[in-house]
Structure 1
Amino acid sequence: MLYIFLIKFLVIFVTLYFSIIRSNYPIHMLQLEGYENDEYLKWISENKDKVTKLWYKKQDEEKSPLVWTDRAKRLMKKHELVNIIIVFIICIVADIIYLFFDNIAFLVIFLLITGFLLYFYQYKLIVVSNKFAIPKELEINMGFYKQAQEKIRNYKENYDLKVLGITGSFGKTSVKFISNTILSEGLRVKNTPSSFNTPMGLSKIINNELENTTEVFIAELGAKKRGEIEEVAALVQPNIGIITAIGPTHMHLFKTIDNIQNTKYELIEMLPENGVAIFNYDNDYVKPLADKTEIKTIRYGIKDVEKLDVYATDISVDEMGSKFILHIRELGEIECESKLLGVHNISNLLAAASSAYILGLSLEQIANGMKKVEPVEHRLNIVNSNSGVIVIDDAFNSNPIGFRAALDVISEFKDGRKIIITPGMVELGDMEEEENYKIGFEIAKTCDFVILVGKKRTAPIYRGLEDAKYNLENVFRVNSLNEATQVLGHLSAPKDVVLFENDLPDNYSEQ
């Protein structure tokens, strides 16, 4: 009958409409988890309060909103189809129910309950849609990958293209941008934007932007599991490889430092026999990798200089940057200066200087390039402030070594009070709670005021501050970055130094 059809149509239409709207947020979270179902399911298990909300209210301070890439659009189409199939099954069952029971009230109740369940379980249903989408995505990705791989091979054979590959637990993006500036003093260089370090990100740049006039292509190589560096290295085919540093990052995926070492070393294993491997010999986890390497090796650092090929001495670091003498054993030495903050950035400069030396630049060109290097956004760069407050942005990511380096940087500022705003460190696996607890002690030594973003996640830091006998009246615990900046507005005064250390992505938000 017509009214039964209208009832079914109304319930089904409303269910589909609101279910698709509800699916936007889980697609966003899946995108932030790299479309990895396992990581997304882990996010669901850790955020049940969000998943069980009947309506998600978009946060005003959403840091990285859902990007409707071609992949996201294809996933949404698959998801819509999955929803339609489920609704079709519900309709068939509804017809059978009405055929046997002839009860409109029972039919309406059935439709409302099943419609609600379909709406409620969109977070889990997106996993099913993604499973259907993955085979096609792999096929598409492989096409782009092979096209880019062949283009690199062609440019290397016919245009003498050199490829510099950079990897490490941290520092690789900074070294990439520093290398771009220094190498540009004598070569035509193509760099990749921001943290483009995956096969698809690199394939896009190679296919769309790499030209045959380029002399050096700089590729950052990222990984979250074994084999991924090898995959990216097979794509870009590097002549020179740099391992910047190794430490406890992505420990929830790698589990052990040994796994991280083996993964990063895949870059070196993919170098040709006439390739050059460059290592940060100051890093305890990188040093043994350098020692076992058989191809030509360049070691850089600031410690044990008698063992190094590239090193810095007479180092002077303050709030304006750094000065030092650069030594390259086969070239000589030269005075250098940089606007970059912190001793750890001298290490990054040395990594870039090592590649510049291998690629034929002179000491003068390297020193001139170092002067021109600008701080990388969100990596210990000073942000202009009209209030007289010095704001240091180190919000991109954080790890135990980098966090301590940032604290060392603000300790160089002699005037004003030191204020830190942080949500703590993530992706450290079983070490996360302990490392955040330890950093509480380090913060206590340096900072006059502490603003902790996210009361649950920063609880270990708070305990560390408490056990360090820090004045807890100077600790402010807030739920969001907006609240943190409001507290800062009442707290700060001219000449104060404010460090924004880490800014967690939306899938870590406690709101």
Structure 2
Amino acid sequence: MLGNNGPLIVLGVISIIVWGIGFFYRSRFMLHMMQLEGYSNGNYLKWIKDFKYKVFSTKVNIFIILTLIFAVVLLNLEQQLYNMIYIVFWCALIIVSTNFKKENVKKDLVYTKRTQRLFAAMYIVNIFILAVLTVVYGLFTSDFFKYLIILHMAGGILYYLVPYTMYLSNILVNPIENAINKYYFDMAHDKVRSFENLKIVGITGSYGKTSTKFITAKILEEKYNVLKTPESYNTPMGVSKVINNTLSSEYNAFVVEMGARNIGEIKEMAELANPKIGVITSIGPTHLETFINIDNIMKTKYELIEALPPEGIAIFNYDNQYVKKLADKTFKEKILYGTENIELLDIYATNIEVSEIGSTFILNDKNGNTIKCETKLLGEHNIGNILAGAAVGVALGLTFEEIARGIKEVEPVPHRLQLINPGTGVIIIDDAFNSNPVSSKAALDVISQFKEGRKIIVTPGMIELGQEEEEANRQFGRYIAEACDYAILIGKNRTKPIYEGICEKGFKEEDVFVVNTLNEATAVLQHLVRPKDVVLFENDLPDNYNE
């Protein structure tokens, strides 16, 4: 028999279930953000600071305030009815404050083994805290009503503090994760060195590295059986996974993309992959929030060249002012490529002709060899990425004929100036992958190649440019005013500099639409667009951003 406390106990059980559901959704959201921040506690805390209004929403703040106020009041009352009303009210507040909607982000939460371990640790930490509070408080009182109120108050506090207990849980599991990562890193490190004749190419740069990876792999396929790291697998653990799960003796070339947000990360990647050829595609103001300045970016990208063996070959984009400085101080065998100052280059392009369907150019080397090439890739900037791939091909013994055939076979990389014709008469250019000052200008140059139709851009602007972000987006706005007929900006606060830059050029304000979400942008676009128009989707919101 439950006795007189029966209804209260039943409500208590219901409240535990409600709390568990609310706790799950709030924890899952924070777990997602931790994953998107690469499980970096520093980046995660910065995200919480930047988006405090989202982490501690008005509903969540109201919940914790009312939970504490009513708990204090009820601790001085002993009527069961008040306790029952409190529990019902508390459950209602939990339900109202919980966000059950799926977050609108580029990358969904992936329940990897690491994520599962962190989620489990999160629950263990919170259950442990509740258990300790239960035992400690139980030593000081036998009053069932007060006991129940204290438990609900504690549960409410833990619900509120989920962002920080996630942080604590990540600290606790880090030693385990480091040990696991080291195990797989060492396994991949040894495995990749077991293939004595494997041609390994490392590619890094502030931008262009993913496109260059796909281009390089396609060119090398004219002579070799090539494995490339998929999509944006450019971290030590991502590359370790590829090596451990996919690399085998059937491959004789391995193309590795190497990304970094901090000094030392390219060095770690190179130590893992053991490249004999290193390519630096570009250096520019990306990830300045972590790198702070260009000098740190240069130092980090050059870690790839420093890691090459004495017989290794360094390949540089000599058109980039920062890469040029690195090339000039390098005394290893090197190949310089570009389209400017061709008398100084080993591989270069001339007679470049770009159009809305691709480009043609003459591929040259310093020995006088030439061949005409054609590509389906849009934009003159992609010629540089192609030249990087051609330079790798030369380094690995491909003929110009083989290189030209490979260039012709290269397909656009998804979300990187990808031309889409849905059959509606409207041309879509998908350049939604992370944008930067160079690629955004290049994208606008591409749509300028189209002779018919109005030009429409949909963009949230550029991110992760540190102190340069505001001015870079303002300049982006000026370029938009020169190239486009209409602009749809996503995010009132973030796109304010773009809006200002557009208006500086005398652009009609009624032709600029500022919306809050991509869905709203799509709705505006549907009313605006008509056959023969060209629509550019430039950049996407960052994985963990929602204004």
TM-score bin, normalised by smaller chain: over 0.9
TM-score (norm 1): 0.96
Which of the residues 45, 49, 56 maps onto 2:49? 45
Partner of 2:129: 86
Partner SS state of residue 439, structure 2: helix
Q: Is the 8 A contact 1:339 1:375 kept in 2?
A: yes
How does 1:123-272 map onto structure 2 within 5 Å? 123-156=163-196, 160-272=197-309
Partner of 1:323: 360
Distance in 2 between residues matched to 1:31 and 1:505, nearest whole Å: 13
Rg comparison, structure with higher value = 2
Distance in 2 between residues matched to 1:434 and 1:172, nearest whole Å: 25
Q: Is the 8 A contact 2:460 2:491 kept in 1?
A: yes
Deviation at 1:466, TM superposition (A): 2.0
Partner of 2:73: none
Which of the residues 101, 124, 134 maps onto 1:58? 101
Deviation at 1:8, TM superposition (A): 6.2
Distance in 1 between residues matched to 2:106 and 2:274, nearest whole Å: 34
Partner of 1:31: 35
Which of the residues 124, 142, 157 maps onto 1:117? 157
Partner SS state of residue 212, structure 1: coil
Q: Is the 8 A contact 1:23 1:122 kept in 2?
A: yes
Partner letter of residue 136 of structure 2?
Answer: V
Provide Cα deviations, 1:110-148, integer angstroms capped at 9, x if missing partner.
222221111111112100011111110110011111111
Distance in 2 between residues matched to 1:187 and 1:196, nearest whole Å: 21
**Does 2:392 correspond to 1:355?**
yes
Partner letter of residue 301 of structure 1?
Answer: G
Deviation at 1:63, TM superposition (A): 2.6
Partner letter of residue 35 of structure 1?
Answer: Y
**Does 2:419 correspond to 1:389?**
no
Distance in 1 between residues matched to 2:250 and 2:383, nearest whole Å: 31
Partner of 1:96: 139
Deviation at 1:505, TM superposition (A): 2.9
**Does 2:372 correspond to 1:368?**
no
Which of the residues 288, 298, 320 maps onto 1:283? 320
Partner letter of residue 146 of structure 1?
Answer: D
Unmatched 5+ stretches in structure 1: none
Partner of 2:337: 300
Partner SS state of residue 507, structure 1: coil
Distance in 1 between residues matched to 2:104 and 2:289, nearest whole Å: 27
Q: Is the 8 A contact 1:94 1:111 kept in 2?
A: no
Provide Cα deviations, 1:337-362, integer angstroms capped at 9, x if missing partner.
10100110000000000000010000
From the superposition, tell whether residues 94 and 5 of structure 1 become closer, same or farther in structure 2 (CA, over 3 Å): farther
Q: Is the 8 A contact 1:8 1:111 kept in 2?
A: no
**Does 2:428 correspond to 1:404?**
no
Unmatched 5+ stretches in structure 2: 58-96
From the superposition, tell whether residues 405 and 334 of structure 1 become closer, same or farther in structure 2 (CA, over 3 Å): same
Partner SS state of residue 441, structure 1: helix
Q: Is the 8 A contact 2:200 2:275 kept in 1?
A: yes
From the superposition, tell whether residues 280 and 108 of structure 1 become closer, same or farther in structure 2 (CA, over 3 Å): same
After superposition, the CA RMSD in angstroms is 1.6
Which of the residues 372, 380, 393 maps onto 1:343? 380
Q: Is the 8 A contact 2:105 2:545 kept in 1?
A: no
**Does 2:23 correspond to 1:19?**
yes
From the superposition, tell whether residues 494 and 278 of structure 1 become closer, same or farther in structure 2 (CA, over 3 Å): same
Partner of 1:449: 486
Bigger Cα displacement from structure 2, 28-37 vs 4-13: 4-13
Provide Cα deviations, 1:305-362, integer angstroms capped at 9, x if missing partner.
0000000001101101111100022360001110100110000000000000010000
Distance in 2 between residues matched to 1:318 and 1:372, nearest whole Å: 18
Provide Cα deviations, 1:214-243, integer angstroms capped at 9, x if missing partner.
111000011110100000000010000000
Partner letter of residue 264 of structure 2?
Answer: G
* Aligned residue-pair number: 504
